[in-house]
Structure 1
């Protein structure tokens, strides 16, 4: 994994999320554009996409398996359901428990990404399958993912979500504010924190600590930091991929908002520096994510250095 934390501070267009009613699969149009020459080399492929959904229906539809078959794969092993095809063998169960009728496959395709890229993700399962079933020289698609971090001014939403607890129908419930602050908001909002190369990762590598540096492009307030991710298919002869960023077509991953305890007053050119650590410490659910965010600003109007903790459960 490599880190490239650098610039940020969005322009005003990034504050406006726009409508999020786009059909879910609109952001997957690139799947249908896989070059046939790529799949003509594939004899056996393996696809698993738990929780692929269309609009509000959470169904493991196996759409990526159908795309593989349509694009020319001679046979597809799909860990899913709802599939009927002569070239697709459906396997039901956990990746770590199922067995294939063949020793190896040529490519593994999986929609393993979760909210914040790593929340409830299937990356460990992908790495397990790669080590057990992938032929030498085979690949995992998508094979690279980048996590980005930016800053937003969001006083109205923060007032509604956090300051609301100061007076709930006349009752002081401010003790709940700290708990509310620890829960990142998964929402749609209007740069690179870390890049993961799946081909070079091992189980457990999803935990990381990465530095970041955010440079303000205008005078404004900062209420929260926002994370989103891009994924790419670099093994194809034509680079393919998609983004969950605020300027791209909306996906069900949206973006992840982490509110700051302090309202930062920042001037153009001033810099927020810090680091983000991601770990998995919940023994009851190993796919839950703990986030540690440390940030500092030594500016004209704000001088602050703080560490905050967030939990995605």
Structure 2
């Protein structure tokens, strides 16, 4: 559900209506939908999940949460669904209606424009399908709407597509860590020149603003996570699962904050730990009482051949740490929703290096923002 570049400037608190408008406006454009529709990993996973499990769709009632262009709803209809309710909060609903009609399934699919929290359906559903995942899985908080839909409209024996999700973190190396420090230094050098010139030309000393300017730029260059499609050889140790979600039973309280303690073993000698990368996978397994005939996985891990528009989120350390094969990095991790905007995330790592010799390095805490 996520793509494109992000505005990483400092945000002021926003009210619910403004947040709604800012969040959904992007998804109202076809160029954005096209980028998601061009993601072969994404498309193949959902396509195979639907058409390799026809027993979940044949003669069933389906709810598509955040239908976008309507393609998931179309696939459900083509797989034999009796009725599909395709809910979309933006004017993309108009394009979805046109596409659904052009593909001759408008007698099966009803497009409903509105937020999932406000929509009323005429019946309970057998399946909820949604592509709700954001950067590092939970950015955007769209899963809240899926949980709301599940609790209100899914039958007791119904299934979720996807049914399960996992969050991963791995140790990485990257030259961007040094580059971001250089970028910060360049921004501050430019600021100091600006301060000198302003006083010389106009007689006003701006230096009282140097500290807040540095804080803004430090957040932008050093503390904001970066989107990347990493090469697998940039991962320098075994990744760890930090959160597992059962979409059939998960609650909003469960996903509002993610807390984990884990250890990452370095498996490359004489390298640098430049930071950590986060990614996710989701699975289409059905439920215990109504399992999938063919289980399907959608994986956003670093890949040479199968990158996704989600990529990975990089949390870079400044400076990087020298590490060797066999070193362990013990980590306390937390991720919670930003107080300024609940769709964004605040992240904290406290990490400590342990070497096979028994030497331990003092723990370090770094804070980041997923914007």
TM-score by shorter chain over 0.5: yes
CA distance in 2, matches of 1:105, 1:203: 21
* Farther-moved stretch of structure 1 (241-250 vs 64-73): 241-250
State the partner residue of 1:234. Answer: 285
State the partner residue of 1:70. Answer: 78
Q: What TM-score do the two structures reach when normalised by structure 2?
A: 0.70
Q: What TM-score do the two structures reach when normalised by structure 1?
A: 0.83
Residue 23 (structure 1) aligned with residue 38 (structure 2): yes
Identify if the C-alpha distance between structure 1 residues 37 and 154 changes in structure 2 by more than 3 Å, giving closer, same or farther: closer
State the partner residue of 2:201. Answer: none
Residue 61 (structure 1) aligned with residue 110 (structure 2): no
Match of 2:230 among 189, 195, 210: 189
Shift of 1:126: 0.7
Identify if the C-alpha distance between structure 1 residues 139 and 159 changes in structure 2 by more than 3 Å, giving closer, same or farther: same
Higher strand share: 1
Identify if the C-alpha distance between structure 1 residues 119 and 42 changes in structure 2 by more than 3 Å, giving closer, same or farther: farther
State the partner residue of 2:331. Answer: 274
Higher helix share: 2
**Match runs of 1:285-296 below 5 Å:** 285-296=341-352
Does the Cα contact within 8 Å between 1:266 and 1:302 map onto a contact in 2? no
Match of 1:210 among 244, 260, 263: 260
Does the Cα contact within 8 Å between 1:47 and 1:79 map onto a contact in 2? yes
Shift of 1:291: 1.0
State the partner residue of 1:9. Answer: none
State the partner residue of 1:109. Answer: 129
* Farther-moved stretch of structure 1 (126-135 vs 39-48): 39-48
Shift of 1:232: 0.3
* Farther-moved stretch of structure 1 (86-95 vs 35-44): 35-44
CA distance in 2, matches of 1:67, 1:271: 46
Shift of 1:209: 0.3
Q: For residues 134-167 of structure 1, what are the alpha-carbon distances to aligned partners after superposition, in whole Å with 9 as ceiling and x for unaligned?
A: 0011121101111111111112x22222322223
CA distance in 2, matches of 1:215, 1:277: 20
Structure 2 unaligned spans of 5+: 1-34, 193-212, 232-238, 287-291
Residue 158 (structure 1) aligned with residue 166 (structure 2): no
CA distance in 1, matches of 2:55, 2:182: 53
Q: For residues 103-125 of structure 1, what are the alpha-carbon distances to aligned partners after superposition, in whole Å with 9 as ceiling and x for unaligned?
A: x1111001111001111031111
Q: Secondary structure at the match of 1:120?
A: coil
CA distance in 2, matches of 1:264, 1:22: 39
Q: Name the count of aligned residue pairs.
A: 282
Looking at both structures, which has the greater relative contact order when contacts are Cα pairs under 8 Å and sequence separation is at least 6?
1
Shift of 1:40: 4.6
Does the Cα contact within 8 Å between 1:124 and 1:204 map onto a contact in 2? no
Structure 1 unaligned spans of 5+: 1-19, 51-59
CA distance in 2, matches of 1:243, 1:230: 4
Q: Secondary structure at the match of 2:170?
A: strand
Residue 175 (structure 1) aligned with residue 218 (structure 2): no
CA distance in 2, matches of 1:167, 1:32: 47
CA distance in 2, matches of 1:249, 1:49: 25
Residue 99 (structure 1) aligned with residue 120 (structure 2): yes
- Greater gyration radius: 2
